[in-house]
């Protein structure tokens, strides 16, 4: 039994066939999915999707790439209200993104400081609600780690879509955090990401698709969907020299612990 710990089922690309998407995941052995919100509206949608599908849980939060678009002055209160829903298993995604340029008219300096402000306020909220967090970081791992470190021992973070080395992951895991791997582990041009998944100790990581993005190599060019977490699992299991069942067991156990499923 596999768990897709990070998918964006609210995406318009799933609008027409979400029920089939979830059914295909279950058929592929992906029996639980975490639908991740990226702003107030998509967080609300993630919760609604979780309510409609017993296999789906939700997270709620504001992604760093959307912080400049948040217009509701009470966004944090809205996230807080959503977070109290019993199917919400973590806050996020939240974090820092230095890869995508700021919107026109916004300087990098302002952009980074607004991202950091949203990140810190959501971590404060998560701590007050006793929830773990889903962290997005892109070209910003060091700053994200510094910010999360302020909460070490108080909450645990999933560094999702991990593409850095095991040496960078190890201190995070020692502090009680967790990493997760996407279909990038199957890309021939990213052998170092698969290597990290090979070096990682058993039980230290989870699996995800980040669908509708990042289809594994075998499905490249298609819309990614939660069923494809199986392709990633097969690639990592083969590289680690373990069975799919063993990898599924270890990664799903870690996911159940992290999200309290
Ligand atoms: Zn995501």
Q: Per residue in 56-83, pLDDT tens?
A: 999 999 999 999 999 999 999 999 999 9
Pick among 3.20.20.300, 3.40.980.10, 3.20.20.140, 3.90.1150.10: CATH of 2-259: 3.20.20.140
Mean pLDDT along residues 1-28:
97
CA 154 – ligand 1 centroid, Å = 23
Measured distance CA(118)–CA(96) in Å, rounded: 9
Band of residue 84 on the pLDDT scale cut at 50, 70, 90: very high
Band of residue 192 on the pLDDT scale cut at 50, 70, 90: very high
Distances 252 to 24, 95, 167 between C-alpha atoms, Å: 18, 24, 23
> How much of the chain exceeds pLDDT 70, in percent?
100
List pLDDT tens digits, range 104-123: 999 999 999 999 999 999 99
In the block, which residue shows the tokens 């870690």?
A: 254
CA 135 – ligand 1 centroid, Å = 9
CA 183 – ligand 1 centroid, Å = 13
- The domain locations on the chain are 2-259
Q: What is the mean pLDDT of the chain?
A: 97
CA 93 – ligand 1 centroid, Å = 7
> Which pLDDT belongs to residue 238?
97
> How much of the chain exceeds pLDDT 90, in percent?
100
Mean pLDDT along residues 36-60:
98
CA 107 – ligand 1 centroid, Å = 24
CA 208 – ligand 1 centroid, Å = 9
Task: Indicate whether this model's pTM tops 0.85.
Answer: yes
> Which pLDDT belongs to residue 55?
98
> Which pLDDT belongs to residue 66?
97
Structure token pair of residue 75: 């966004």
CA 7 – ligand 1 centroid, Å = 6
> Which pLDDT belongs to residue 210?
97
Measured distance CA(58)–CA(45) in Å, rounded: 9
> Which pLDDT belongs to residue 64?
98
């Amino acid at each position: 039994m596999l768990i897709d710990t990070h998918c964006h089922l609210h995406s318009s690309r799933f609008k027409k066939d979400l029920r089939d998407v979830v059914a295909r995941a279950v058929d592929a052995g992906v029996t639980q999915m975490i639908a991740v919100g990226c702003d107030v509206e998509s967080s609300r949608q993630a919760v609604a999707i979780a309510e409609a599908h017993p296999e789906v849980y939700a997270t709620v939060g504001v992604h760093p790439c959307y912080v400049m678009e948040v217009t509701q002055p009470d966004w944090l209160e809205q996230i807080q209200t959503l977070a109290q829903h019993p199917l919400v298993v973590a806050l996020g995604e939240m974090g820092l993104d230095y890869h995508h340029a700021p919107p026109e008219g916004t300087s990098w300096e302002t952009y980074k400081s607004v991202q950091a402000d949203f990140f810190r306020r959501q971590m404060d909220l998560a701590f007050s609600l006793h929830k773990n967090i889903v962290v997005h970081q892109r070209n910003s791992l060091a700053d994200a780690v510094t910010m999360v470190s302020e909460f070490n021992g108080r909450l645990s973070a999933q560094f999702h879509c991990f593409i850095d080395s095991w040496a960078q992951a190890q201190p995070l895991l020692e502090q009680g955090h967790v990493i997760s791997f996407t279909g990038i582990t199957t890309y021939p041009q990213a052998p170092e990401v698969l290597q990290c998944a090979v070096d990682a100790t058993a039980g230290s990581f989870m699996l995800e698709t980040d669908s509708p993005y990042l289809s594994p190599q075998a499905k490249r060019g298609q819309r990614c969907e939660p069923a494809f977490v199986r392709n990633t699992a097969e690639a990592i299991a083969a590289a680690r020299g373990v069975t799919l069942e063993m990898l599924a067991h270890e990664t799903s156990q870690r996911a159940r612990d992290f999200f309290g499923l």
